[in-house]
Structure 1
C-alpha cells in the first residue's frame, strides 16, 4: 500500500511539472478585486491558455479569469467582433462579453487585457580574455542583433568574429555560434628584427623584447654618451623606429693644441677626466725644477658632445650662424612668411651658444598661428555610458564639434580621429586618422552619425585601443607630427587607466582629460583623472554638468593644445 502511494505521487509530479500557471477569479467588479480575491492556479495538462472574460451589466463590469483549453479559448476570442446585439458581441454596451487569451505563465494577471508574450532576446556576451566585444544594446539583445569580437594587438582570433542572435524556438533565442577566443600570435606575431642588444660600455631596458610596441631605452657608463636615439620603438611595420645607438667616449672640444714655445702632455688625449700639463719655454732655455711654469687643466663633462645643440636646420625657415653650434656662435632665424609661417616664440630671433654649451634662449621654430593651424594628430575619445544620457550626449557632441571646427585640416595642420566607448569600443562608427584626410566637411558628416547607447565605463580599455590601433601608422598616424589625445568622461573607470596613460606619454603623446561631474565632482575619481592627464594643467574638471562645456572651456582647451607649437 505504501509503495502504491509513493508511485501515484511521483506520477502526479511528472504530469504537473511543466503545467501553465494562470490567474483565477470569478465575477470580480474590478481587476484589483480580482487580484485581491483570486489566486494563481496550476492548469491541467490540456489547458494551454489563460483566459480573461469581461461581462458588462447595469452595475459595471464583471471580470473572470481562468485556465482554458487553447482551441476553446481561441474559438471564444474570434467571437468578439461578430454580430450579436448592437454593435457586436464584444463592445462597450450593456450585455457585452469580451474574451481574450494568452499562453505564458501569469500572463492574465496584471490587467484586464491579455498579455503579449515578450519578444525573445539573447543575453549580451561577455568580453573575451585579451580581446573585446562590441554590441549595440545593453544586457538583452533582440533577434537579428550582431556582436563583433576583436583581439588585442599580438593576439589572434580563433573562431568567428561575428555572432548573431537567432530564434531557436518560437519563444526562445540564442546566438548562432559560440564566442571566439584570443590566442597569443606565434608564427605571425609582429616582431622587429634584429633583436636589440646593449651597446658596449652601456645597458639597455626593453618593455616587450622585440614585440610590437616594445620600447627600448639605452644608457651609457660614466664618461660615455649615447650616440644616436636613446629610445627606439618596434613599429607595426616590423621595423625599429631608429638604428641601435652606441656608447662613445665624451670629448672636450676644442682639443688642446701643441704650443709654439712649449710642450703639451695629456693623460688621456681630450677625453673626459683627462689632465693636461703645459710646459712653457723662456727663449731657448727650458725652465726646470722650481723655476718652470706649470699649468694643470682638468677637463670635466658639461655637455654630451661638447658643443651646443645643432639648430642649423629650421623646417619652413632659414638659420644663419656665425660659427655653427660652437661656443660664442650667434644664430639668426627667419620663417617663410609667404606660407603664413611665423617665429615662435616671436621674440627669439637671435640665440648665442654660451660657454656652458647651451643656447642663451630657446631656439625658435616656424609655425602657423594656432588656432586654427596646429600640426597634430588629434584623437577624441567620448564616454557613451548609460550615466551620460541622451540629452547630455548631444551637448557633449556639440562641444566636440566645436573643437573639430576650431582647427584646420591639412598636411601641415591637423588630422583627427574620434570614437566612442562604454563597456566596449564602438568600431562601427569610429573615424580613423586616415579617413577624410584634409576634408573637414566629410569628417564632420561621419562624426555626426556616431550614435549613443551602452553601459559601463572601461576608459582604460579605450585608451589602450587608442594606443594600439588609432595611433598606429597604418591607420593614418604621422610619425613626425605631435600626437594629442583628449578623453571626455563623466564617471569613474571600471578598469586601470594609469598604466596605459603612462605608456602613451612615454610614446610622446600629449594626454588631456575632461571630467564632467554634476555636483562638485560626484561620480568622478580625481586621482584617475590626474593619472590620465598626467599633470594638473592637462586635467580639466567641470562641476556644472555637461552645460559647463561652453566657449570658455573650449578656449582653455585650445590654449593648452597650442601652448608648445614647437613640439
Structure 2
C-alpha cells in the first residue's frame, strides 16, 4: 500500500481482517471509513482495497495556463487578489498544482511569459513574477485565439515543464473584453487534446453584455465565470467547479513513481 501499510490477520482466509494505515504526512485512507476490511465466506473482500490519498483541497493535481488581458483600472487589483486567494488554498508543488501564464493583447507578450519550470514550484515566487511581469494593457485589439494558440505551442509542452498525461490540464482566460479574433478554433483544438478551457470575465456586466462569444470559447456557459463586484471574487460556483473537477478520485492523484516491488 503506497504511502502506508496493510496488516492482515489470517491471510486471505474467510473471516480474516485487514487494517489499512497511512504513514506519510498529509495522506489518509480513501474512501473514508474503509480502514478495515473483512474477507467474506466466498473468498471475496467486503470492500475494494483503499488507497492512501491526500485531502483535496488543498492538494489539487493539475497544470494550468493563465492567459491574461486586463485593461480596466481595477482589473489588475482584481487579478492579483484572485491569484493570491487561489494559491492560499491550493498547494503549489511538483506533485500538486503547477501553473504558467502570459499577458496578451493583439499578440501574446512573450517577455511576460512564465513557464511551469520558471519558479521552482514556489507559490510566493509565482505571485512575485505575476506582479513583476504585469503589462499595461490599454483598450486595444484583444486576440484570445492567438493567446490560446501560443499556449498550445509554447507553454503546454514538456520543454516548458508541463507534466505527463497523469495530470489534468486547463487553460484559463482572464479578460475584460470579448475576443477580436477567432478564439473558438484554438479552443476546440485545446479540448481535442483533452484540456479544459475556462473563461473568467473581469469586466463589468452591463445590461447589454453579450456572454455568448465567451460561452463559445469555453465550450459551455458553465465554464464561464463572471466577476462579482459585490463579493469581489468570481463567486462560489467557480470554486465549486474547481473542486468537483480536480478533486475526484484521490487514488489517481499520483505524479511520482512508486516502488512496485514492495
Q: Is TM > 0.5 for Structure 1 vs Structure 2?
A: yes
The answer to whether the 8 Å contact 1:315/1:365 transfers is yes
Distance 2:202 2:225 in 1: 9
**1:424 CA drift (Å):** 1.3
Aligned residue pairs total 228
Residue equivalent to 1:540: 225
Higher Cα Rg: structure 1 or 2?
Answer: 1
**1:425 CA drift (Å):** 0.8
Distance 2:104 2:147 in 1: 6
Q: Which of the residues 433, 438, 443 maps onto 2:121?
A: 438
Measured against aligned partners, the alpha-carbon deviations of 1:67-87 in whole angstroms (never above 9, x if no partner) come to xxxxxxxxxxxxxxxxxxxxx
Check if 1:417 corresponds to 2:103.
no
**1:495 CA drift (Å):** 1.6
Check if 1:392 corresponds to 2:68.
no
Q: Which has the higher strand share?
A: 1
Q: TM-score, normalised by structure 1?
A: 0.36
| Secondary structure of 1:406 counterpart | coil
Distance 1:460 1:553 in 2: 25
Relative contact order higher in (CA < 8 Å, ≥ 6 apart): 2
Check if 1:481 corresponds to 2:167.
yes
Residue equivalent to 1:462: 147
**1:391 CA drift (Å):** 2.1
Structure 1 gap segments, 5+ residues each: 1-313, 321-331, 351-360
Distance 1:514 1:362 in 2: 40
The answer to whether the 8 Å contact 1:392/1:546 transfers is no
Q: Which of the residues 218, 239, 243 maps onto 1:559?
A: 243
| Secondary structure of 1:338 counterpart | coil
Check if 1:472 corresponds to 2:154.
no
Specify whether residues 560 and 530 from structure 1 end up closer, same or farther in structure 2 by C-alpha distance, changes over 3 A only. farther
The answer to whether the 8 Å contact 2:143/2:181 transfers is yes
| Secondary structure of 1:488 counterpart | strand
RMSD, matched Cα: 3.4
Distance 2:135 2:247 in 1: 33
The answer to whether the 8 Å contact 2:68/2:104 transfers is yes
Distance 1:453 1:390 in 2: 10
Residue equivalent to 1:205: none
Structure 2 gap segments, 5+ residues each: 8-17, 38-46, 254-262
| Secondary structure of 2:83 counterpart | helix
Q: TM-score, normalised by structure 2?
A: 0.71
Check if 1:428 corresponds to 2:114.
no
